[in-house]
Structure 1
Amino acid sequence: MKAFSIGVIFIWKGATKMATRGTKRFIWGFFMLWVALMAIFTFADLNVSKALYNEEHSRFGWFFEVYGEHPAFLVLFAAGSILFSTVRDARLVKKILIRLISGLFILLSGFSIVFIALNRGYELAGSGVMLICLAVAVLLAALAQWLLMQVPVETLSTYNRAAWAGIVIVFAEIMVVNVLKIFWGRMRFRNMEGDYSQFTSWFLPQGIQENGVTAEAHKSFPSGHSANGWTMMVWMLFMPFASKWRNIMLVIAVAWGLCTSTSRVIMGDHFATDVLTGAFITITCMLLFCKLFKVDIYSDHQTNASVLQKDKNAPYFR
């Protein structure tokens, strides 16, 4: 726990260093809100789950169980599509390399988008369903490339760093969440017996449980659905600064993240602190890798005012 806390502090100090004023406000606003909510739900975790649990009859919970994680795969699909298209005029070796890598992202994410919806929503599986999902992924990829061909390479390439950052953010949050799940060993609410004697606080790791990585009942902390749902915020990186689209996307992302997180408590898969930690992991990864890839979440309006005045619709990445 001490090493984890030190690591978090180090990452957040790094994320704020040399960030724009708008980004710093975003960082500290989020961090203070997260700390306050974690403090509250640390003591209220079990009671909140008892009050909200409604696995059998909640259509809201069902919807976000099926579709809540889709933003992560949509980010991979969009980022891969951008990278695939921007090398259309590149040298042959670079074009082949980038298109092999980005094409893999496109097909894997496109397949996942369709398969998760069919499997979780309608319990469809099997080789036939998988072939259908792959075919749909190919068609979606072809449609995306046709649409992107209408955009000049010069305009599209301004999003390259955001695309690479988006890919790394998604893979990083998935890896961190799934590793923590194994070693934390916290039991899910819906798997507990009637007296809730197996409940443990989030700050007390239980270690690797029997059956190791397959012990699904002990993978409550942190929430993968929440982490993937909050990747909706990564879509801010593909929005221009000047037209207020980033603020609009932020509102949409927060609404989606909150709905996905709440649904996990309703379905009994996670406690409130689990979903808060999932959100924290994703947003921390976003802040860290945006810094590494030199992609600003918000511009400094004082330093960038002249740039924004010249072209109010142009994306700007420092």
Structure 2
Amino acid sequence: MTTKGTKRFIWGFLIVWVMLMTIFTFNDLNLSKALYNEHESRFGWFFEVYGEHPAFLVLFAAGSILFSTVRNERLIKKIMVRLVSGLFILLSGFGIITITLTRGYGLDGDHVMINSLIITVLFATLCQWLLNRIAVQTLRQYNRAAWAAIVIVFAEILLVNVLKIFWGRMRFRNMEGDYSLFTSWFLPQGIQENGVTTEAYKSFPSGHSANGWTMMLWMMFMPFANKWRNIMLVCAVVWGISTSTSRVIMGDHFATDVLFGAFITITCMLLFCKLFKVDLYPNSQPNATALLKDKNAPYFR
């Protein structure tokens, strides 16, 4: 059952999104001309490097929770869950550090990959040591949220990258002043030459925006009191807007591209939270004892 808080969130999101999408549909090109500042904007550079981190961080957190909650389970179950969750931990941690070192510090080469892997393993070990100090019953309250978060992140990444290939919209910065190449977001251009590998025609939708808005998923890992989730929501909106704006400044995307990226992530979040029975805004704080009464319940319960 969808709570009143979640319903208000859904309606508020839809109204704001439709209004902005309507406005930017008719002002896409002019807005990009006004904001474009790829070579001098430190704001744009910062979010180009760090804007996508929330998606990797939520995967790391979700994987870490799932890895820890099976510590007292049967061997087969423990092995299966830890193989899956361990993979998410390594991939997300490796991604965060590699992106930071390559985009932020201009480093490359095999040593970057090796160092990223070592740092990931060390940090993951530290996290498990800390999580082992928390009761399994407490962590298990967030199992469904962890599984939902993993599915949401992978769903939005898959959708964004498939649409990029088939939409074929040219990025603003690649037009190099020839604005006759501009196309509206609702007119897909199809697969362009070398469309799978060529980045110039992958403007729509924005992957950075989609990943940046995954900070909303952190709401699911907040204490059940709604005030903490409201605080996290505000932080997520600020981060999402900042990341989205930075993509227009850098000329990587138009305003409608980043809005649609946000739409994909938030829609996936609402759909899969419904599927996994995770309330963004619980009506009241759940009874932990009742939630954990059935020890044999599935981990995505």
**Is the shorter-chain TM-score for this pair beyond 0.5, marking a shared fold?**
yes
2:251 counterpart letter in structure 1: G
* Identical-pair percentage: 77
Deviations 1:225-272 (A, max 9, x none): 000000000000001232611000000000000000000000000000
1:165 counterpart letter in structure 2: A
- Report if the CA contact (8 A) 2:28-2:255 is conserved: yes
Specify the alignment match of 1:228 in structure 2: 211
Give yes or no for the alignment of 1:163 onto 2:128: no
- Aligned with residue 7 of structure 2, among 14, 17, 24: 24
Give yes or no for the alignment of 1:117 onto 2:129: no
Specify the alignment match of 1:70 in structure 2: 53
4+ residue runs of structure 1 moved beyond 3 angstroms?
none
Local SS of the residue matching 2:26: helix
Q: Aligned equivalents of 1:41 and 1:218: distance in 2? A: 20
- Report if the CA contact (8 A) 2:65-2:139 is conserved: yes
Shift of 1:63: 0.3
Local SS of the residue matching 1:244: helix
- Aligned with residue 244 of structure 2, among 261, 264, 270: 261
Deviations 1:25-72 (A, max 9, x none): 100100110000000000000000000000000000000000000000
Give yes or no for the alignment of 1:284 onto 2:272: no
Q: Aligned equivalents of 1:295 and 1:195: distance in 2? A: 48
The alignment's TM-score, normalised by the length of structure 1, stands at: 0.89
Q: Aligned equivalents of 2:224 and 2:18: distance in 1? A: 28
Deviations 1:85-135 (A, max 9, x none): 000000000000100110010011000010000001122111111000000
Q: Aligned equivalents of 2:67 and 2:224: distance in 1? A: 24
Matched ranges for 1:1-318 at <5 A: 18-242=1-225, 244-300=227-283, 304=284, 307=285
- Report if the CA contact (8 A) 2:226-2:281 is conserved: no
Q: Aligned equivalents of 2:226 and 2:16: distance in 1? A: 27
Q: Aligned equivalents of 2:178 and 2:68: distance in 1? A: 56
Q: Aligned equivalents of 2:119 and 2:142: distance in 1? A: 26
Shift of 1:212: 2.2
2:282 counterpart letter in structure 1: S
Shift of 1:182: 0.2
Deviations 1:6-43 (A, max 9, x none): xxxxxxxxxxxx41111111001001100000000000
1:41 counterpart letter in structure 2: F
Local SS of the residue matching 1:197: helix
Q: Aligned equivalents of 1:139 and 1:260: distance in 2? A: 29
Q: Aligned equivalents of 1:178 and 1:186: distance in 2? A: 13
RMSD, aligned α-carbons? 1.6
User: Cα gap change, 1:128/1:43 in structure 2, threshold over 3 Å: closer, same or farther?
Assistant: same
Shift of 1:179: 0.2
Q: Aligned equivalents of 1:82 and 1:299: distance in 2? A: 21
2:36 counterpart letter in structure 1: Y
Deviations 1:250-298 (A, max 9, x none): 0000000000000000000000000000000000000000001000011
2:222 counterpart letter in structure 1: M
Deviations 1:108-167 (A, max 9, x none): 100001000000112211111100000000011001101101110000000000000000
Q: Where does the alignment leave 5 or more consecutive residues of structure 1 unmatched? A: 1-17
User: Cα gap change, 1:272/1:197 in structure 2, threshold over 3 Å: closer, same or farther?
Assistant: same
Shift of 1:174: 0.1
1:293 counterpart letter in structure 2: F
Q: Aligned equivalents of 2:258 and 2:126: distance in 1? A: 35
- Report if the CA contact (8 A) 2:168-2:195 is conserved: no
Q: Aligned equivalents of 1:299 and 1:87: distance in 2? A: 25
- Report if the CA contact (8 A) 2:64-2:127 is conserved: yes
Shift of 1:195: 3.3
Local SS of the residue matching 2:141: helix
